[in-house]
Amino acid sequence: MQRRTFLRSTAVAALAAVPLTTSLTGSASAADVPVSSLAALQSAINAAAPGDRIVVADGTYTVPSGSALAITGKNGTEAAPITIVSQSRGGAVLRGERGFALSGSSHITLSGFSFRQSTTLEIPADCSAIRLTRNDFQFADSGDPYWVVVRADDTKIDRNHFHDKTTAGIFIVVDGPGTTAMAQNLHIFRNHFSDHSFTGSNGGEPIRLGVSGRALSGAHAVVEYNLFERCDGDPEAISVKSSDNTIRYNTVRDSRGGIVLRHGNRSTVEGNYLIGGTDGVRIYGNDHRIVNNHLSGLSGRALVVGSGTTRDHHAGETEDERRGNDACDRAVIVHNSMIGNTGTLSGETRTFEPQDVVVADNLLVGDAGSLVEMGANSGFTWQSNLLWGAAANGNIPTGGFTRADPRLAPGTDGVMRLTSTSPAIGAATLSSAAVADDIDGDLRGSTRDIGADEYATGTPLRRPLTAADVGPNAA
């Protein structure tokens, strides 16, 4: 079956020269304030009013040691933000110890800069509705380990490129006020994360949502349509250590890191592609939904249902207990495709086994080892999974699967999908799944197919992302 891609490739080199003064909000307005020095930029920020656009001329600006571009007590509005924008994308380069320093401000947009500073860019808790868009981030490798730290509500981070870090540290850290709360309603989308090559065993994630002490706090963050390539600094490309988050429609390619729900409850991992790297999806905590994900060609473990050093994290536990693993309980794992991975679906052997997990309507295909290698578990529901390949079935219970050739074929994007004669078509049976569409965006209807792909002949609405779909020049 042939499928055409929905998103068109972008002429990146041509777009790079397009001035942001016309591309961010249309034509230049009377509120535009052109500046070409640090002193003029600071004066323009101090005088800025809602709707103003401060346009920084292309060039390299080195902020003196001990100084910063202070954005203090400046408040735009939702309809009229205060925008500080490079004349052309990547044309204004900020070097030195610090760049912008925000405090007590809201509805501020920073756009189009090449950030080359050595210390953290912080969005503090006394701010709100701050947006970082179409920037290029490559901080000094010898500087602070964290590049962007978010503690403010309603932050947007979109269409940026974070790249080339060789030391320990994280591109984006999300925390919150105090020691247990989380920043609310963060939206991270259309970013490109690439080439994190730290070789240590831990501490090089592209994104970390929370930390163990904040695990029980709901963040309601949405991380979607991001591309991760060669993100090898940590086994976790997206590390979730808070509750109530949505991780969807991302592509993780050729990376050591995967998507890990390390701490917290009630998060959704949906419609992600993890292709040709090491680790896939690993889950701890309670009441998660893992749906419509495509995991293929992974040399590590594709999907891990984690066991725990504790049954459930709770408010009264010690710091050591909180840092431990919370056994995975009541997760729903449905409509995922795991194809050609070294380890397909597996468990672990800590003291507390996962409980009451639903594993249904998944497609498992492999040629080595066992397709299912679960550790001890209790009360699992196994239903209408489809298995195929030279790999052994493993310890999946009889009655929880069917073995048959799913009759897959590669699309133009290389993804293996169902063909018209596949026995997966119409074979899904979990009535409580409530999965409206598939990984491509095709509607599932009342009769659903097994796996992440619902057979269709039309143009997919979603597909694996490429560099042309994300970053500063993305649509």
Give the angle 467-472-474 at the CA atoms, nearest 5°. Answer: 60
Mean pLDDT of 264-293: 98
Helical residues (DSSP H) of 89-129, grouped into ranges = none
Asked whether residue 158 is domain-assigned, the answer is: yes
Q: How far, in Å, CA of 149 to CA of 342, rounded?
A: 35
Residue from 208, 234, 212 nearest 221 by CA? 208
8 band by pLDDT with thresholds 50, 70 and 90 = very low
Question: What's the DSSP call for residue 357?
Answer: -
Q: What is the DSSP string of 32-98?
A: EEEE-SHHHHHHHHHH--TT-EEEEPSEEEEEPTT--EEEES-B--SSS-EEEEESBTTTEEEEES-
**Res. 375: pLDDT tops 70:** yes
Residue type (1 letter), 402: T
What's phi and psi for 83, nearest 5 deg? -115, 130
Say how far apart CA 319 and CA 453 lie, in whole Å.
42
The pLDDT assigned to 30 comes to 53
Q: Give the model's pLDDT for residue 366.
A: 98
Tokens of 221: 């963050």
Answer yes or no: is 50 within a domain: no
Alpha carbon distance 220, 357 (integer Å): 23
Longest dimension (CA), the chain: 72
DSSP string, 379-408: S-EEESEEEESSSEEESPPTTSEEE----E
Q: How confident is the model at residue 5 (pLDDT cuts 50, 70, 90)?
A: very low
Looking at the domain assignment, is residue 364 inside a domain?
yes
Distance CA 94, CA 91 (A): 10
Calculate the average pLDDT of the chain.
93
Q: In angstroms, rounded to a whole number, what is the distance separating the alpha carbons of residues 292 and 271?
A: 5
How confident is the model over 328-352, as pLDDT tens digits?
A: 999 999 999 999 999 999 999 999 9
Closest CA to 35 of 23, 53, 17: 53
CB atoms under 10 Å from CB of 443, counted, come to 10
pLDDT tens-digit series, residues 102-119: 999 999 999 999 999 999
**What pLDDT sits at residue 20?**
37
Residue 337 DSSP label: E
Please state, in angstroms and as integers, the Cα–Cα distance from residue 355 to each residue in 30, 273, 352, 397, following that order. Answer: 62, 27, 9, 15
CB 120 within 8 A of CB 151: no
Contact call for residues 384 and 360 (beta carbons, < 8 A) = yes
Q: Which of 349, 379, 365, 331 is nearest to 452 (CA)?
A: 365
Residue 434 pLDDT: 83
Range of the domain at 451: 12-22+134-469
Residue in the block written with tokens 């690993």: 282
State how many domains the chain has: 1
Asked whether residue 200 is domain-assigned, the answer is yes
On whether the CB atoms of residues 271 and 292 are closer than 8 A, the answer is yes
Closest CA to 173 of 197, 203, 148: 148
Is 120 inside any structural domain? no
Written as six digits, the tokens of 69 are: 């571009």
pLDDT band at 29 (very low <50, low <70, confident <90, very high): low
Q: Which helix (H) or strand (E) holds 321?
A: helix 319-323
Q: Are 93 and 120 in contact (CB under 8 A)?
A: no
Contact criterion met (CB below 8 Å) for 286 and 262: no
Whether the Cβ atoms of residue 225 and residue 464 lie closer than 8 Å to each other:
no
Domain membership of residue 7 (yes or no) is no
Instruction: Say how far apart CA 303 and CA 269 lie, in whole Å.
Output: 12
Report the amino acid identity of residue 349. Answer: T
Spatial contact of 465 and 251, defined as CB atoms under 8 Å apart:
yes
Assigned domain for 474 exists: no
Among 102, 167, 113, 156, CA closest to 137: 113
Top-confidence residue, 166 or 13: 166
Structure tokens at 7: 């998103």
Cα–Cα dist 160/177, whole Å: 25
Task: Report CA 171 to chain centroid distance, whole Å.
Answer: 12
The CATH code of the domain that includes 281 is 2.160.20.10
Q: How far apart are alpha carbons 173 and 152 in whole angstroms? A: 12
Pairing label, strands 343-346, 301-305: parallel
- Give pLDDT tens digits for 202-219: 999 999 999 999 999 999
Confidence class of residue 432 from pLDDT cuts 50, 70 and 90? confident
pLDDT at 14 over 60: no
CA distance 146 to 135: 17
Q: What is the pLDDT of residues 221-232, one digit of tens each?
A: 999 999 999 999
Share of the chain above pLDDT 70, in %: 94
One-letter amino acid identity for 238?
A: I
pLDDT at 26 over 80: no
Cα 159–chain centre separation: 13
Residue 421 phi/psi, 5-degree rounding, is -105, 15
The pair phi, psi for residue 232, each rounded to 5°, is -110, 10
Average pLDDT for 69-94: 98
Does some domain include residue 356? Answer: yes
